[in-house]
Amino acid sequence: MTNMFLRAAAGCVALFAVTGMAEAADMYRKAPPATPIETPVSVYNWSGFYAGANIGGEFLRDTGSNAGFRRKMNSGSLFGGVQAGYNFQNGPLVYGVEADIGYGHPSKTKAFGTNAMKIEEGVSGTVRGRVGYAVDRALVYGTGGLAWANFDTTVTNGFVTEKNDKTRLGYAVGGGVEYAVTNNVSVKGEYLYENFGKMNKNFASVGRTGNDLSDHIVRVGMNYKF
C-alpha cells in the first residue's frame, strides 16, 4: 500500500514537472522580440540669416566686333567676394534669397584690322532666389536672378586711344551643394552662368564696336548662420 502511494506521488510530481517545462517552452516561443532602442536622429534646420565669403575663378566669354572683323575675346581670372542671404525651411524644402558682390579681372586684347580693342570685367554682383532640397545637413539647390557687372572697353587706331566704362545688367542661373559642418558654419561649392547681352558703342577713333558678353563663375565658399 505504501509502495503504491509513493509510486503515485512520484508520477504526479513527474507529470507536473513535464507540464511546467512544456508551458515554459511555449511561452518562450510566443514571447515577442525585444524592441531595439533607436538612437534619435538630429535634423539640421537651415532657416535663418547667414553671411560669408567665397573664392574661385571667373571666365569671361566675349565676341568682339569692329571694322568688319569679329574676334573671340575669352579670358579668365581669380575671383573673390562676399555673400549674404536668408533661408526658410518647410520640411525638406529650403528656399530664400541671396545677394553677393565680388571682384575678378578677366581681360583680353585683340586686333581688328589696324585697330585694337581691350575688354576688361571688374566688380560684379547678383541678387538671386534659391530653392533646394535638404537631407539633414546637406543641401542641393538651384538659383537664379539678376546679375550686374562693370566692363571697361579700351580702343585705339594706333594714334588715338579711347576708353569707355559701363555697367551692364543681365541674368544669372546656376546651382550648388552646401553642407553644414556645425550648427553655425557651412561650406559650399557653386556654379553661376551670367549673361549680359550685346554692348555696342561708337568711338571717334575706331567707329562702332560690339561685344556679346557672358561669364562663368566657379567658386567655393563658407557661410556663418546667425
From CA 88, how far away is CA 131, in angstroms rounded?
Answer: 10
What are 37-62's pLDDT values in tens digits? 554 445 899 999 999 999 999 999 99
Higher pLDDT, 127 or 16: 127
- The pLDDT assigned to 6 comes to 37
Amino acid of residue 29: R
Could you tell me the three cell numbers for 164? 569707355
Domains of the chain: 48-225 (2.40.160.20)
From CA 156, how far away is CA 118, in angstroms rounded?
Answer: 9
- The pLDDT assigned to 120 comes to 98
Q: Is the sign of the CA dihedral 16, 22, 24, 27 positive or negative?
A: negative
Expressed in angstroms, the distance from the first to the final Cα of the chain is 94
- The pLDDT assigned to 42 comes to 53
- Beta-carbon contacts of 87 under 8 Å, excluding residues fewer than 6 positions away, are 46, 47, 48, 50, 94, 95, 96, 130
- Beta-carbon contacts of 79 under 8 Å, excluding residues fewer than 6 positions away, are 55, 56, 57, 58, 102, 103, 104, 217, 219
pLDDT above 60 (res 111): yes
Residue 35 pLDDT grade (very low, low, confident, very high; cuts 50, 70, 90):
low
| Among 182, 87, 84, 165, CA closest to 121 | 165
pLDDT above 70 (res 169): yes
Could you tell me the three cell numbers for 100? 553677393
Would the pTM of this model clear 0.85, i.e. be above it? no
